[in-house]
Amino acid sequence: MDFASLIGILSGLLLIISAIILGGDIHHFMNLPGAMIVLGGTTAATLLTFQFSDVLTAFKAAYFVFRRKKQDPNEVISTMMGLAAVSRRKGLVGLADVKTSKPFIKRVCSLIADASDEEVIRSTLRTEIDSMKMRHFIVQDIFRRMGVYAPAFGMLGTLIGLIQLLSRLDDPSTIGNAMAIALLTTFYGSLLSTMIFLPIAGKLKARTVVEVINLEIAYEGAISILQDNSSLSVYEKLSAFVPKNARRPIRELKRRSV
């Protein structure tokens, strides 16, 4: 579980709810028609903008991002060092027998074991990295768009409420309550945008950056194995992707298996 995300959401909601309770009755902030306008309108606009399958994929991706811990780049370096050691003992063909749950690493092993040309390996892996970026961009864009749509529909709900308010000006006693209800939709839209949709888009973007770095490490590791399958050479080249204060010593990484 990503505890930073969990703490951020819970602390934000707790502070907002606490401020509402301290300032008055929380029931004044509950309005079903307003919530229907914001949630329904945001959902409808999102489905009009994107394909249904992409929207489902986006919510699944958000779930897994918050559920799974991000992979440490040092682990990828360790994996590539292990592959270099295997290729040194068994030859490049020996990489075909490597067992791994990581699809990209398996692709690397297959390409090297098949004696593919270096240029072919570069082109294939680069295409895979670029296509992953595009897929992730669509997922991030869905939540960014929802972060834009929610406040817009909140304002739309406010306008609807104001029109209904103006139609009842003959009863001044209802104006205050009607105005509060009208403004609630703007509150709902802003809350969803700033506390849910935009932070999720930001978290997805941050995870994409980390995943791209890990794939770049695997990519450069594959080229290093082709050129020089020394574990020390692979470590020295790939450790440049990791900040100095986060790098693990080569002795520790050598003990880890593929």
Q: Supply the pLDDT for residue 47.
A: 95
Q: Tell me the residue type at 10.
A: L
pLDDT score of 95 more than 60? yes
Count Cβ atoms within 10 A of the Cβ of residue 224 and give its class: 0-12 exposed, 13-18 middle, 19 or more buried: buried
Instruction: Say what percent of the chain tops pLDDT 90.
Output: 27
Among all chains, which residue has been given the structure tokens 């709810």?
A: 17
Please state, in angstroms and rounded to a whole number, the distance separating the CA atoms of residues 196 and 200.
Answer: 6
pLDDT of residue 41: 94
Cα gap 90→85, rounded to integer Å? 9
- Report whether pLDDT(257) > 70: no
pLDDT at 1: 56
**pLDDT, average across residues 80-84:** 88
Q: Report the C-alpha gap between 118 and 219 in whole angstroms.
A: 11
Structure-token match 């209802």, residue found: 174
What does the pLDDT average to over 211-219?
Answer: 91
- Cα(210)–Cα(225) distance, rounded to whole angstroms? 23
Give, rounded to a whole angstrom, the gap between the first and last alpha carbons of the chain: 24
Q: Residue 207 pLDDT > 70, yes or no?
A: yes
The pLDDT of residue 256: 55
Q: Which residue has the higher pLDDT, 114 or 136?
A: 136
pLDDT of residue 140: 94
Across the range 27-45, mean pLDDT stands at: 88
Q: Work out the mean pLDDT of the chain and round it to a whole number.
A: 85
- DSSP code per residue over 130-142: HHHHHHHHHHHHH
pTM: predicted TM-score of the whole model, two decimal places? 0.82
Q: Which two tokens stand for residue 248?
A: 């693990």
pLDDT at 255: 56
Residue 202 has pLDDT above 80, yes or no: yes
Tokens, residue 139 = 């997922």
Say which amino acid occupies 211.
E
Residue 134 pLDDT: 92
Residue 144 has pLDDT above 90, yes or no: yes
Identify the band that residue 142 occupies on the pLDDT scale cut at 50, 70 and 90: very high
The residue with tokens 């919530």 is: 35
pLDDT band at 155 (very low <50, low <70, confident <90, very high): very high
Q: How far apart are CA 114 and CA 158, in angstroms?
A: 63
Query: What's the CA gap between 151 and 208, in Å, rounded?
Result: 26
